[in-house]
């Protein structure tokens, strides 16, 4: 079920929060008087770790309780529906959720009853670190910018010129260059499942960005914002970098950065931004080592945004054909926005279900 924004009706300071019934109950009629909710694991949890929520309801006979789960980032704002009426257990996938304190709220009702009869709440703290992914000391060091362009080869541009930019041989050469560059930073090779063929260029840019972030212990970008996608599309058609807009739909942009590349596609653009963004012919903003424009694209991809109530890290991305050279123009905007949870076209959570 898709999430819906709901009013912040539940505020519980303890694990078990007895509340005044929302629905009236006749004496002896089915209904639940009290409910508790617990989360496993306990304590601070790396973002990306599945959190198992389980409710226990104290109900009258023949009540057949049903449960609805909600979450909210921080201590203010509106709750988001995790799952509508159903069983007492829920596996909360946190891969697309921002590190920080989250409030979990629970409603219970009798299966045949007219409305909510009890509620409960608890707090869950997500930390900046993705479970199940490498986060060694090298991962922390790899957030730093290289001293110079990596340049370990292979020369994928020569391979792609000979074999064609859309050929398997071209893709394999670009991936080999990325993997060698990642290996130099102590990171594992990039693993792309067969589902990569189903992604649009914008979706692939999101996946590649999050793979680079997660490998370094950073929280993933949540997904593609329709508003930012539109800005990115216009920039891709112009073949130029673009400024970060002041808003993305209903949300105000707090911080952000942009990247642009004219190359062979998302994989080559990622290599340009992450591993060849120093002084040289690729980054036009970095004519000499140590200049202000050096490694700026990499900084945008690996940016660390402050956690806070109703702050979300989102992205816009687009690709356009570049007829002058036969290549493509790729644009990416990474921005932290403040406001209600923004609508997203494609999310990192969806990508993980595809095997990324």
Model pLDDT for residues 306-342, shown as the tens digit of each residue: 566 678 889 999 999 876 666 788 999 998 888 888 8
**Residue with tokens 């891709």, as numbered in its chain:** 236
Structure tokens at 172: 């394999």
Give me the phi and psi of 344, to 5 degrees please: -130, 140
Decide if pLDDT at 261 tops 70.
Answer: yes
C-alpha 109/C-alpha 118 separation (Å) is 7
Give me the phi and psi of 154, to 5 degrees please: -70, 170
Element (H, E) at 234: helix 226-238
Decide if pLDDT at 235 tops 70.
Answer: yes
CB atoms within 10 A of CB 11: 14
Structure tokens at 63: 């009540």
pLDDT at position 269 is 92
Length of the chain: 356
Structure tokens at 302: 């690996």
The residue with greater pLDDT, 75 or 147, is: 147
Look at residue 294 and give its three-state secondary structure.
coil
> pLDDT digit string (tens) for 160-218?
888 877 788 888 899 899 998 988 888 888 888 888 888 999 999 999 999 999 888 88
Nearest alpha-carbon partner for 67 in 25, 13, 104? 104
CB distance 271 to 181 below 8 Å? yes
> pLDDT digit string (tens) for 76-126?
666 778 888 889 999 887 765 666 788 899 999 887 666 777 888 889 888
C-alpha 61/C-alpha 30 separation (Å) is 6
Give me the phi and psi of 213, to 5 degrees please: -70, -50
C-alpha 311/C-alpha 314 separation (Å) is 10
pLDDT at position 112 is 64
C-alpha 307/C-alpha 101 separation (Å) is 9
To the nearest whole percent, how much of the chain has pLDDT over 90?
18
Rg (CA), the chain: 24
pLDDT at position 251 is 66
| DSSP designation for 333 | E
pLDDT at position 50 is 84
pLDDT at position 53 is 93
Q: What are the Cα distances from residue 158, in Å, to 31, 153, 162, 233, 270?
A: 71, 11, 6, 28, 17
If you average pLDDT over residues 215-227, what whole number do you get? 88
pLDDT at position 135 is 38
If you average pLDDT over residues 1-29, what whole number do you get? 35
Domains of the chain: 5-127 (2.60.40.1930), 194-353 (3.40.33.10)
The residue with greater pLDDT, 155 or 309, is: 155
Give me the phi and psi of 229, to 5 degrees please: -60, -40
The model's confidence at residue 274, banded by pLDDT at 50, 70 and 90, is very high
Checking DSSP bridges between strand 118-127 and strand 45-46, what pairing results, if any? parallel
Q: What are the Cα distances from residue 92, in Å, to 12, 273, 305, 312?
A: 19, 33, 23, 18
**Residue with tokens 């704002």, as numbered in its chain:** 77
Give me the phi and psi of 145, to 5 degrees please: -75, 140
pLDDT at position 15 is 27
pLDDT at position 76 is 60
CB distance 277 to 286 below 8 Å? yes
- Name the pTM for this structure: 0.62
Structure tokens at 308: 């806070």
Element (H, E) at 324: none
Look at residue 321 and give its three-state secondary structure.
strand
Give me the phi and psi of 17, to 5 degrees please: -125, 95
Decide if pLDDT at 128 tops 80.
Answer: no
Helix 201-215 with 266-275: angle, nearest 10 deg: 30
pLDDT at position 229 is 92
Nearest alpha-carbon partner for 182 in 234, 148, 221, 139? 139
Instruction: Provide the mean pLDDT of the chain.
Output: 78
């Amino acid at each position: 079920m898709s999430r819906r924004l709901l009013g912040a009706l539940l505020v519980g300071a303890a694990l078990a929060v007895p509340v005044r019934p929302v629905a009236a109950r006749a004496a002896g009629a089915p209904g639940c008087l009290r409910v508790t909710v617990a989360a496993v694991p306990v304590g601070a949890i790396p973002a990306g770790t599945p959190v198992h929520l389980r409710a226990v309801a104290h109900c009258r006979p023949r009540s057949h309780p049903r449960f609805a789960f909600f979450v909210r980032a921080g201590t203010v704002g509106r709750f988001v529906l995790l799952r509508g009426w159903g069983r007492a257990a829920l596996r909360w996938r946190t891969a697309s959720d921002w590190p920080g304190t989250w409030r979990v709220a629970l409603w219970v009702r009798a299966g045949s009853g007219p409305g909510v009869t009890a509620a409960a709440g608890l707090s869950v703290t997500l930390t900046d670190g993705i479970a199940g992914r490498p986060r060694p000391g090298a991962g922390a060091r790899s957030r730093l910018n290289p001293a110079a362009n990596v340049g370990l080869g292979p020369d994928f541009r020569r391979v792609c010129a000979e074999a064609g930019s859309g050929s398997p041989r071209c893709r394999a050469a670009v991936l080999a260059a990325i993997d060698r560059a990642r290996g130099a930073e102590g990171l594992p090779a990039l693993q792309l499942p067969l589902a990569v063929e189903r992604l649009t260029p914008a979706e692939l840019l999101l996946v590649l960005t999050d793979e680079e972030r997660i490998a370094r212990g950073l929280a993933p970008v949540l997904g593609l914002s329709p508003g930012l996608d539109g800005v990115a599309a216009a920039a891709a058609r112009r073949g130029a970098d673009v400024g970060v807009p002041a808003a993305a739909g209903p949300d105000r942009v707090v911080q952000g950065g942009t990247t642009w590349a004219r190359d062979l596609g998302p994989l080559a653009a990622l290599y340009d931004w992450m591993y060849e963004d120093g002084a040289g012919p690729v980054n036009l903003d970095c004519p000499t080592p140590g200049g202000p424009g050096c490694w700026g694209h990499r900084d945008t991809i690996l940016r660390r945004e402050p956690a806070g109530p109703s702050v979300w890290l989102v992205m816009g991305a687009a690709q356009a054909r570049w007829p002058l050279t036969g290549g493509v123009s790729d644009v990416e905007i990474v921005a932290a926005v403040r406001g209600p949870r923004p609508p997203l076209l494609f999310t990192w959570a969806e990508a993980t279900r595809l095997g990324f």
